[in-house]
Chain A
Amino acid sequence: MSGGAKLNVRVAEVVEVNALIKRFRFVNRDGSPMPAFSGGSHIVVEMDDSGTRRLNPYSLMSDPEDRAGYEISVRRDDAGRGGSLYMHNHVKPGMEMVISYPVNLFALDSRARKHLMIAGGIGITPFLAQIAQLSHLGGKFELHYSARSKPLGAYMDRLTQAHPDRVHCYFDDEQQTIDLGRILSMQPLGTHLYVCGPKGMINWVLSTAEKMGWPIHALHHEEFLAPGTGKPFDVELAVSKKTITVGTTQSLLEAMEAAGVDAPYLCRGGACGQCETNVLRCDGQLLHRDHWLTPEDHASGQKIMPCVSRFEGKTLVIDR
């Protein structure tokens, strides 16, 4: 079964957090408690955007022990394909929606002596749930959180109030930057490092830590890719015996689903590997955008991740 178990929920609350971010709270339609989850988990939210089915992943930010509901925060992306715009413009309290069970691709390492967290912008959301979980279990953490400006620093107030000694905030418009080298050099043995934010930040944090000799297994990151837009292209589905066209604001996975093909998926953000598909013939250029395949896989031209990657050229035949 593609996508795994689902939850039928109702939108209980929509809160405007700042000029760019809205928070949504989901509760079970039948009033039963939500499943517990682990900090760092995400859900996939299904949307019916006037006939176009969109499924976007969002990190759960609420306290995992709050079994009454789940909360996510969505940053509006005016140039995106429309998922965040749909959430901002159309999702209202009382609406019924379908979400996936939580999946965790950004789990805390339970053996860590300390958790060092680096967040950029909306990348704060998984850390909110992790910090709540660590607070219940008595785990040690330190958070460095940078935002463009004070008004855009979502949840900073609540974090600094609850954990004044452990949370450090930085603002781009005040030319404040995270002094990463110093922070990394001060950590006790057994610390694990977690980063979630824009791609540039993730690369900077991981490469700095690696250069300083941090072991790879102590480094964790999460980056969801929006599938991105591109030129339309045709794909032949060898198993289903169909030829489909992938539209400009559609992903290959979405186009397959729209054609009634049941393709596997979990994260829909190029991270989990579930939708990996063999390429049978390719006369043109695969536009790989995932983090799952190795650089060798990308170069080989024999695999594609339909949730985020695209194609330009004459013929593409895939094994689905």
Chain B
Amino acid sequence: MSLDFKPGAFNGFFRDETFRDDFTYRNSPEGIRRFPFPFDRDDYMYSVNMEPHTSGRKGSVFEHTFDVDEHYVSEMIDRAKVLAEDPLRCQSLPHMTLAGWDLLELIMESKARDYPQWFSLTKDGNRWHWINRPLGIDQTFTFLDESTLPYGPFEYITRQTQGDFSLQDERDNDLWMDAGMITSQADWSLDFDIGMSFMEWHAPVPLAHEKGIFDRALKFLLKLQHGAPVRRFNWTMTVNPLLDTAPETYPKWGPTRTTLSQDNMGNKMHLRVELQALFRLPRSNAVAFSIRCYLGKFEELVTVPKWGRRLHRVVRDLHPDLAAYKGFLRNRDAMAQWLSAYDDGKPTSPGWWPED
């Protein structure tokens, strides 16, 4: 398999690691401290948890519009491998090309502004020059002219950006998932969902429909304004640091759920956090949805005492329908048992920051 970029930058910051086979992925001590722990209290239930996606604490995953971290280069190599095996993980219906350009512009401008040491964008009218140093890419192209890029604009930029992306067209007071780059998903399929409306692709989610969460979320998103992006968290659990947990490959990874023991739990079980951001795109009026996946081993997370206590309580008390939907009902007791060693029963402070 050939990669279309020449990664030359593992030295120093970017880790050389795998999300398959020997699974050498892990977080550095600094990576653990900035892990986006998603629980701001000791219990969890679905809610319309959205807040403005504005710049947050320095060094945190909220600091920049698109967080680039130590896993960047390895994640992009993993994405290229998934796409080589299954090209349908990236699809864009014909009317979504303009939205793809909008997203390309948003990402290039943000990264060049936020990480000038790694990315640069210079413009001479519609003639653009993009440099991505970590991936060894130097590209001159004409904005809005597809023939000047090696891929369509959406695929081009999302092959260089951590996290899955979907683009929603807005019509008839609804959002339609009409494009996606989905290679690090928590068990859902772009090929199945493409062309669906907001309620259709959310149909499998338990409890949230009855609570009116999706009605309110859709109403909110239809009013989403350019220049005022929002974000929310979602989370699940994954055995092994496997980014690509797709229904298409379930036979490969589903059975790993039966391999857990108290001895390997800390290393094998990962809290999988999705930092999701929503952007109104300017020219196409489409809505971009980014799903950035962060994986944290249980043994890494419990090095923060507050997180150890809280994760134990959340896992122990989670509504069984949610645990079943997230795919860990059968392992829940074993997970809670392992985590209980890190819960001394002391109160936890509100909020998700490690030190507070």
Binding site for B on A (CB under 8 A): 1, 4-5, 35-38, 40-41, 64, 100-104, 107, 109-111, 133, 136-137, 217, 266, 272-274
Q: Do residues B226 and A5 form an inter-chain contact, with CB atoms below 8 A?
A: yes
Q: Do residues B283 and A217 form an inter-chain contact, with CB atoms below 8 A?
A: no
Q: Which residues of A contact B102 (CB under 8 A)?
A: 36
Known: A109-B171, A110-B169, A136-B144. A35 touches B282 (CB 8 A): yes
A37 nearest in chain B by CB position: B282
Q: Do residues B227 and A110 form an inter-chain contact, with CB atoms below 8 A?
A: no
The answer to whether the Cβ of B112 comes within 8 Å of any Cβ in the partner chain is no
Give the tally of cross-chain contacts (CB within 8 A): 59
Q: Using A1-B228, A111-B171 as known contacts, list a sample of 15 further A-B pairs with CB atoms less than 8 Å apart, ordered by residue number in A.
A: A4-B225, A5-B225, A35-B226, A35-B282, A36-B282, A38-B283, A38-B285, A40-B285, A41-B285, A102-B226, A103-B226, A110-B95, A217-B171, A266-B223, A273-B223
The answer to whether the Cβ of B98 comes within 8 Å of any Cβ in the partner chain is yes
Known: A36-B283, A37-B283. A274 touches B52 (CB 8 A): no
The distance from the CB of B278 to the nearest CB of chain A, in whole angstroms, is 14
Q: Which residues of B contact A1 (CB under 8 A)?
A: 52, 228
The answer to whether the Cβ of B172 comes within 8 Å of any Cβ in the partner chain is yes
Question: How many residues of chain B get a CB closer than 8 Å to chain A's CBs?
Answer: 21
The answer to whether the Cβ of B91 comes within 8 Å of any Cβ in the partner chain is no
Q: Which residues of B contact A101 (CB under 8 A)?
A: 225-228
Q: Which residues of A contact B223 (CB under 8 A)?
A: 266, 272-274
A192 nearest in chain B by CB position: B171
Question: B170 contacts which of A41, A100, A107, A273 (Cβ < 8 Å)?
Answer: A107
The distance from the CB of B331 to the nearest CB of chain A, in whole angstroms, is 42
> Within residues 234 to 249 of chain B, which ones have a CB less than 8 A from any CB in chain A?
none
The answer to whether the Cβ of B284 comes within 8 Å of any Cβ in the partner chain is yes
The answer to whether the Cβ of B6 comes within 8 Å of any Cβ in the partner chain is no
The answer to whether the Cβ of B319 comes within 8 Å of any Cβ in the partner chain is no
Q: How far is the CA of A133 from the CA of B98 in the complex (A)?
A: 11
Q: Do most interface residues of chain A lie in helix, strand or loop, or is the interface mixed?
A: loop
The answer to whether the Cβ of B219 comes within 8 Å of any Cβ in the partner chain is yes
Q: Which residues of A contact B228 (CB under 8 A)?
A: 1, 4-5, 101
Q: Do residues A38 and B284 form an inter-chain contact, with CB atoms below 8 A?
A: yes
Q: Do residues B219 and A273 form an inter-chain contact, with CB atoms below 8 A?
A: yes
Q: Do residues A103 and B225 form an inter-chain contact, with CB atoms below 8 A?
A: yes
The distance from the CB of A44 to the nearest CB of chain B, in whole angstroms, is 11
Q: Which residues of A contact B169 (CB under 8 A)?
A: 110-111
Q: Can you give 18 contacting A-B residue pairs, CB < 8 Å?
A: A4-B225, A4-B227, A5-B228, A35-B226, A36-B102, A37-B283, A40-B285, A64-B282, A100-B225, A101-B225, A101-B227, A102-B226, A104-B285, A110-B169, A110-B284, A111-B95, A217-B171, A273-B219
Q: How far is the CA of A40 from the CA of B170 in the complex (A)?
A: 13
Q: How far is the CA of A287 from the CA of B227 in the complex (A)?
A: 34
Between B96, B98, B223, B285, the greatest number of chain A beta carbons within 10 A of the residue's beta carbon is seen for: B285
> Within residues 52 to 100 of chain B, which ones have a CB less than 8 A from any CB in chain A?
52, 95-96, 98
Q: Which residues of B contact A38 (CB under 8 A)?
A: 282-285
Q: Which residues of B contact A64 (CB under 8 A)?
A: 282-283
Q: How far is the CA of A137 from the CA of B282 in the complex (A)?
A: 15
Q: Which residues of A contact B98 (CB under 8 A)?
A: 110, 137
Q: Which residues of A contact B95 (CB under 8 A)?
A: 110-111
Q: How far is the CA of A211 from the CA of B354 in the complex (A)?
A: 63
Q: How far is the CA of A266 from the CA of B227 in the complex (A)?
A: 14
The distance from the CB of A31 to the nearest CB of chain B, in whole angstroms, is 15
The distance from the CB of A260 to the nearest CB of chain B, in whole angstroms, is 22
The distance from the CB of B64 to the nearest CB of chain A, in whole angstroms, is 18
Q: How far is the CA of A3 from the CA of B284 in the complex (A)?
A: 21
Q: Which residues of B contact A40 (CB under 8 A)?
A: 285
Q: Which residues of B contact A109 (CB under 8 A)?
A: 171
Q: How far is the CA of A100 from the CA of B226 in the complex (A)?
A: 10
Q: How far is the CA of A107 from the CA of B96 in the complex (A)?
A: 14
The distance from the CB of A215 to the nearest CB of chain B, in whole angstroms, is 10
C-beta contact mask, B30-51 vs A, less than 8 Å → 1, else 0? 0000000000000000000000
> Within residues 274 to 321 of chain B, which ones have a CB less than 8 A from any CB in chain A?
282-285
| 6 smallest beta-carbon distances between A and B, as pairs | A5-B227, A110-B95, A36-B282, A4-B225, A101-B227, A38-B285
The distance from the CB of A114 to the nearest CB of chain B, in whole angstroms, is 13
Q: How far is the CA of A104 from the CA of B98 in the complex (A)?
A: 16
Question: A107 contacts which of B52, B144, B227, B285 (Cβ < 8 Å)?
Answer: B285
Q: How far is the CA of A41 from the CA of B225 in the complex (A)?
A: 11
Q: How far is the CA of A137 from the CA of B105 in the complex (A)?
A: 17
Q: Which residues of A contact B226 (CB under 8 A)?
A: 5, 35, 37, 101-103
Q: How far is the CA of A107 from the CA of B286 in the complex (A)?
A: 10
The distance from the CB of B54 to the nearest CB of chain A, in whole angstroms, is 10
